[in-house]
Chains A and B, each alone.
Chain A
Amino acid sequence: MKVKSPLEVYKFLPQTNCGECGFDTCMSFAAQIIDRSVKPTDCPPLVENAKKDKKFEKKLNELISLTSPEILEVEIGVGDNAIKIGGEDVLHRHELTFFNPTAFFFDVYDTMDEEQIHERCSKVVEYRKFYVGDFITLEGIAVRCTSNDPEKFRSVVKKVSEYGKPMVLISMNPECMRAALEEVADQKPLIYAATEKNWKEFLQLALEFKVPVTVRSKDLTILKSLAKTFRENGVRDIVLDPVTEPIGDGLRGTFERVIQLRRTAILGEDKDVAYPIMITPISAWLIEGDEITKGYWETVLASTFIVKYADVMIFKNLEQYTVMPSVILRYNIYTDPRTPVQVEPGLREINNPSPDDPVFVTTNFALTYYTVESDLTSGNIKCWLLVLDTEGLGVEVSVAGGQFTAAKVKDLIKETGIEKKVNHRYLTIPGLAARLQGAIEDETGWTVLVGPMDSGRIKGWLEQQWPPEKKE
């Protein structure tokens, strides 16, 4: 966005501090706009005024354009399943955050066996990967026209649309594309792709059916010309495909094109290329080798461009060993670095513990927590894990800094009701918090055991220490 400080936004606001937006002051609302957590239209008086008065309308529109993202945000699909791509503002995630995670589309083609189409579509629909307390899912399905037969393409696209996922329609033949759009244009698929050869027909299609369109060229001047032509003729939703070359110098070239496009859009303020970028890891299936090699390489391509600026991708491989690393990498790169790196404090039940099983306490620093949690889970250790709110700090630091205290442990024991869930009073604290042993015992009345320095050693430690010898 063009403005950098809340003050610049404040000028455009009513400055009445009415609080209708949910913030106490216009200034704090302005700060939220800079963070992109709210939009100008979230201020009701501003919208009301604009409706009544042309002058205010102009002001609002000016603010909207000043605060809109550098890269155009494009929506594919409709309803609950619709996804947004693009909308980015920065080149490096620490400068703010990346916003809309790369959307993943998995392909089917119209000469594919019906059974197989069904199987692949179902896999996309049903995909679930548990991560950081949530299930990651896949966005959509790309349908390729391999028959070059409009009627065939039409019928297969129609079938696929019944799965309710956003779609990318792939055919260079405008007649085939038209047939498909006649069926599913109302679902707002992304069409792929307008090139130097077919752009007139595709421009007609994009205007007629009001769907987002991909423009495709290896030559960035042609790509920019395509985008500009489409834009100036009334197409708003454009996606740029600089052509993915899977290996060798071609890959190096692809890398260069993607970075030049995004950098020139953001730093060079070239609005004609400020659109979402398409990358096609499926191109890996053109290389020599067996399925595993191709699947691996597809992930290599995906990873390269998840890190570097791709907003939408087309994949072939639906095997978990390649899908999983891609969805996790995407999650990591698009995690907002501004939010503190912590997890929800409270009680976690690991491996269905019984009242006899041990109780551990750890911090809510995400890294510590996930390490401990994964060590316990994977070690098949049945236990209760108390997660202490240390304000997102690790054990060592929070013990030293006073965020990990006996009093807080006592409160946590009370809040979680752990006393009713276990039939013993033994609490194991991290080895790095050993110095709090006495204090926690005094505060809680529990017997405190000092665990190992590293949660990776809990398993061995338990063999020695659990169940503890009763002190009568």
Chain B
Amino acid sequence: MARKFTIEEFFETLKKYNVEELEGVRIEGDLEIEIEPGSGIDANLINAVAMLSNYMQLIQEFGNFLYHANMALSYLQRLSSALGIQMPLVVQPQVQPAVEVKPEKIPEFKIPEKLISAKFEPYKVEYPGKIEEVTLGATRADGGTRETTVTIGGEKSLAFYTFDAMNEYMPAIAIDVFDRKPMLAKAVREHYQDVLEDPAEWAKKAVKEFNADLVTIHLISTDPMLEDTPASEAVKVIEDILQAVKVPLIIGGSGNKEKDPEVLEKAAEVTEGERVMLASATLDMDWERIGNAAKNHGHVILSWTQMDINNQKTLNRYLLKRVGIDRNSLVMDPTTAALGYGLDYAYTNMERIRISGLKGDTDLNFPMSSGTTNAWGAREAWMIDSPIEGDTPWGPRELRGPIWEIVTGMTLALAGVDLFMMMHPGAVAVLKEWMGMLQGIVKESIENVDDWITMEV
């Protein structure tokens, strides 16, 4: 298994942000001078200083200087008002031992001697169906050149309901790579700044540094509205990526209905044997041609519909019955909407699809994929602050963005998603960590789970 990437490590990597502009508000030193050790200092003050230094740490870790500087200043104002409070020479009143209650007026209630014992018997659920297993990528032994493959699906229970049935495969995460510089939110772009011009290097970074299980190459330059790169030209980048990384590939087009079938067909040809996933066939495109490209070259097809369970059924059926795709070569993308922008529809649509699959609907018992990167479309993920008057300020956006992607991904993971296409390395790390815990792979727990009740934090 690859190296474990914890959230802390992720935040370590973020520390390299530039902080020069904060010089003006770095005054911890001054504050320390104000406090004379041993002179009966108010606990409040110590608290406040401790909090300030925590806050400074936050500021140093995350960029967006102006915004932070403002926040820091207002924080300082609050602090100075705290400092304005007299510093009492006496220490806070001692904690007193619990006083005995006066028994005078307490009404009489009959309190039993013992608990009524009532055994909890969990209700059992078993499903007749099973989600198909789909393997992406092929090693040399199977005619490809991948060093790892990824298998998804195989569920016999709802996501992470390990107590109903252990699901063998944990959902996998692919990181998006583009064949031309795409529009990216600042918080995402920062992590790929050095590789934006070089998809192969980009893919390498995604795998080596950010722990991607797969890489998705989006051939967006083929869009007639953009460079309109000819299919035969565009697919060259795939060969570079196959060289650069040894994980399975997903290949996406530009979304152009006329062009995609040609592009994906070409891509299927040049990756023969690698068992890539072609993304994707849709009802309003020539799904037959894309489906045939997958079938003829031994690839997996992504069946993409727009949040409609019936359309999903229809397209799956076309691909299975008319094109003749193998049941172990189909993945569904029922469409991902971002947190706050339709996530409820996306969640419920996927949940219904998964439940239908488990209940035995053989048109729907396939693994699901989610374009989780869509989360970045939410303005809360990238906008500098709320455009709405009366809104509580939104806080630093470099902290909002990743969490938007995390929460979108988590929600859909609970609906049954098996494969995530993501972008922010921090979001990838957190989602993996959390799934590992629910799956029972990341075991280490905390002993004293009651401590929050009395912690002075």
Residues of A within 8 A of B (CB): 92-94, 109, 111-113, 115-116, 119, 126-131, 135, 144-152, 170-173, 175-176, 178, 196, 199-200, 203-204, 207-208, 220-229, 232-234, 243-252, 255-256, 259-260, 263-264, 267-268, 270, 272-273, 280, 282-283, 285-293, 296-297, 299-300, 303-304, 307-308, 316, 319-322, 324-326, 328-329, 331-333, 335, 337, 341, 351, 366-367, 370-371, 374, 377-378
Report chain B residues within 8 Å CB of A333. 344, 347, 411
A129/B452 in contact, CB under 8 A: no
A150/B99 in contact, CB under 8 A: yes
Q: How long is the Cα–Cα vector from A335 to B80 in the complex, in angstroms?
A: 43
19 A–B contacts, CB within 8 A, in A order: A92-B352, A93-B344, A113-B48, A115-B82, A130-B388, A173-B98, A208-B107, A243-B449, A260-B122, A264-B123, A267-B123, A289-B8, A290-B57, A292-B11, A293-B7, A328-B380, A329-B411, A332-B343, A374-B379
Closest Cβ–Cβ distance, residue A94 to chain B (whole Å): 5
Q: List residues of B (424-457) whose CB comes within 8 Å of A's CBs.
A: 430, 434, 437-440, 442-446, 448-449, 451-457
Sorted from nearest, which 10 A-B pairs have the closest CB atoms?
A: A268-B123, A250-B445, A320-B395, A248-B445, A220-B120, A321-B399, A332-B344, A130-B388, A264-B123, A260-B122
A146/B414 in contact, CB under 8 A: no
Task: Known contacts A119-B78, A228-B118; decide if A127 and B414 are in contact (CB<8 Å).
Answer: no
Closest to B44 in A: A113
Out of B120, B348, B411, name the residue touching A94 (CB < 8 Å).
B348
Closest Cβ–Cβ distance, residue A353 to chain B (whole Å): 14
Q: How long is the Cα–Cα vector from A122 to B315 in the complex, in angstroms?
A: 53
A268/B383 in contact, CB under 8 A: no
Report chain A residues within 8 Å CB of B17. none
Closest Cβ–Cβ distance, residue A163 to chain B (whole Å): 16
A229/B393 in contact, CB under 8 A: no
Q: How long is the Cα–Cα vector from A243 to B78 in the complex, in angstroms?
A: 35
Task: Known contacts A149-B96, A151-B96; decide if A286 and B451 are in contact (CB<8 Å).
Answer: yes
A128/B452 in contact, CB under 8 A: no
Is B169 an interface residue, CB under 8 A from the partner? no
Is B233 an interface residue, CB under 8 A from the partner? no
B343/A248 in contact, CB under 8 A: no
Is B150 an interface residue, CB under 8 A from the partner? no
Name 15 extra pairs, CB < 8 A, besides A129-B392, A329-B339, A335-B344. A94-B351, A148-B95, A150-B99, A173-B98, A221-B117, A248-B446, A251-B437, A252-B162, A280-B452, A283-B449, A299-B407, A324-B400, A329-B343, A333-B347, A378-B387
A320/B393 in contact, CB under 8 A: yes
B399/A248 in contact, CB under 8 A: no
Out of B48, B93, B106, B120, name the residue touching A223 (CB < 8 Å).
B120
Binds A, one of B19-27, B108-116, B129-137, B263-271: B108-116
A147/B95 in contact, CB under 8 A: yes
Closest to B61 in A: A292
Q: How long is the Cα–Cα vector from A247 to B7 in the complex, in angstroms?
A: 12
Residues of B within 8 A of A (CB): 7-8, 11, 43-44, 47-48, 54, 57-58, 61-62, 78, 81-82, 85, 92-93, 95-101, 106-107, 109-112, 115-123, 125, 160-163, 337, 339-345, 347-348, 351-352, 355, 377-380, 383, 386-388, 390-396, 399-400, 403-404, 406-407, 410-411, 414, 430, 434, 437-440, 442-446, 448-449, 451-457
Closest to A268 in B: B123
B11/A328 in contact, CB under 8 A: no
Closest Cβ–Cβ distance, residue B306 to chain A (whole Å): 9
Closest to B382 in A: A378
Task: Known contacts A225-B116, A370-B341, A374-B341; decide if A293 and B414 are in contact (CB<8 Å).
Answer: no
Q: How long is the Cα–Cα vector from A112 to B377 in the complex, in angstroms?
A: 40
Out of B100, B101, B111, name the residue touching A200 (CB < 8 Å).
B111
> Main SS of the interface on chain B?
loop
Closest to B309 in A: A94
Task: Known contacts A92-B351, A259-B161, A321-B396; decide if A247 and B407 are in contact (CB<8 Å).
Answer: no
> Could you say which of B95, B120, B355 has the most chain A C-beta atoms within 10 Å of its C-beta?
B120
Report chain A residues within 8 Å CB of B8. 288-290, 293
Out of B7, B112, B343, name the residue touching A233 (CB < 8 Å).
B112
Out of B78, B407, B457, name the residue touching A325 (CB < 8 Å).
B407
Task: Known contacts A115-B44, A148-B95, A255-B160; decide if A246 and B446 are in contact (CB<8 Å).
Answer: yes
B44/A321 in contact, CB under 8 A: no
> Main SS of the interface on chain A?
helix
Q: How long is the Cα–Cα vector from A204 to B455 in the complex, in angstroms?
A: 27
Closest Cβ–Cβ distance, residue B179 to chain A (whole Å): 20
Closest to A137 in B: B392
Report chain A residues within 8 Å CB of B344. 93, 332-333, 335, 337
B54/A297 in contact, CB under 8 A: no
Closest Cβ–Cβ distance, residue B55 to chain A (whole Å): 8
Q: How long is the Cα–Cα vector from A238 to B116 in the complex, in angstroms?
A: 16
Closest Cβ–Cβ distance, residue B82 to chain A (whole Å): 5
Q: How long is the Cα–Cα vector from A204 to B112 in the complex, in angstroms?
A: 10
Closest Cβ–Cβ distance, residue B49 to chain A (whole Å): 12
A113/B82 in contact, CB under 8 A: yes
A224/B119 in contact, CB under 8 A: yes
Report chain B residues within 8 Å CB of A297. 7
Closest to B404 in A: A325
B99/A322 in contact, CB under 8 A: no
Closest Cβ–Cβ distance, residue A11 to chain B (whole Å): 29
Out of A148, A244, A303, A337, name the residue touching B449 (CB < 8 Å).
A244
Q: How long is the Cα–Cα vector from A144 to B455 in the complex, in angstroms?
A: 9
B58/A130 in contact, CB under 8 A: no
B57/A109 in contact, CB under 8 A: no
B160/A250 in contact, CB under 8 A: no
A325/B119 in contact, CB under 8 A: no
Q: How long is the Cα–Cα vector from A220 to B122 in the complex, in angstroms?
A: 9
Q: How long is the Cα–Cα vector from A92 to B392 in the complex, in angstroms?
A: 32
Report chain A residues within 8 Å CB of B125. 263, 267
Report chain A residues within 8 Å CB of B391. 128-130
Q: How long is the Cα–Cα vector from A48 to B12 in the complex, in angstroms?
A: 69
B445/A329 in contact, CB under 8 A: no
Report chain A residues within 8 Å CB of B430. 296, 300
A204/B390 in contact, CB under 8 A: no
